[in-house]
Amino acid sequence: MVHYKLSYFPIRFAGEVPRQILAYAGQNFEDDRIPQSVWPTIKSKMPFGTLPVLYVDGRPLGQSHAISRYLARQFGINGRCPWEEAQVNAIADQFKDYFNEIRTYNLVKMGFAEGDSEKLYADTFLPNFKKNFQFFTNFLKSSGAGFLIGDSLTWVDLLIAQHTSDLLSDSGSVFAASSSIFDDFPELKAHQKKIHSIPNIKKWIETRPATPL
């Protein structure tokens, strides 16, 4: 039996989707949550000096999206054909672009930088949120099955649903925003409820450690 170990900080953020993929698959894994105090002593041992890192029988794999793509392929939620897989990857890459666009806002919200969070919310977060969530809504409508791509779960459903949940404060996130931002995106609110009602995902969310991000 393959041994999976997911090393990340004791927060959700970039480590949460890989954890949810493993939980969805019913796969036992070592949920290695590394305290900030320990991180400087092991940083140089990581493939890219960053977390998360997935260990597969001791072999390390860095970068959160690479980890998610690998696990999704292992457990059958990476798209049912090469075209669907490419579309899944396109959404994941667009989500990464979106996070880069709101990075300054996120850093202030997380307490890692100084700035006017209300101004950044209005000027940086909100326009980029609206632009990108319209993209994601378009995919959801095109699918017509309640999933972003095709007629079954893919890992980008987990990615978008978790971010939606964080914005709605369903998970006690520091990123919680006014629920009114979803007035124009009711499909994605329904999508989040659908994805987080999947039994193994629901169980994971109910039992995972409570963290602010």
Q: Domains of the chain by range and CATH?
A: 4-76 (3.40.30.10), 82-198 (1.20.1050.10)
Q: Which pLDDT score, from 0 to 100, does residue 177 have? A: 80
In the Cβ-directed half-sphere of 88, how many Cα atoms lie within 13 Å?
29
- Note the pLDDT tens digit of each residue in 90-100: 999 999 999 99
Q: Which pLDDT score, from 0 to 100, does residue 5 have? A: 98
Are 164 and 192 in contact, with CB atoms under 8 Å apart?
Answer: yes
The mean pLDDT of 10-20, rounded to a whole number, is 96
Check pLDDT > 90 for residue 172: no
Q: How confident is the model at residue 213 (pLDDT cuts 50, 70, 90)?
A: confident
Bridge partners (DSSP) of residue 33 are 8
The mean pLDDT of 34-44, rounded to a whole number, is 96
198 token code pair: 């999947």
Check pLDDT > 70 for residue 170: no
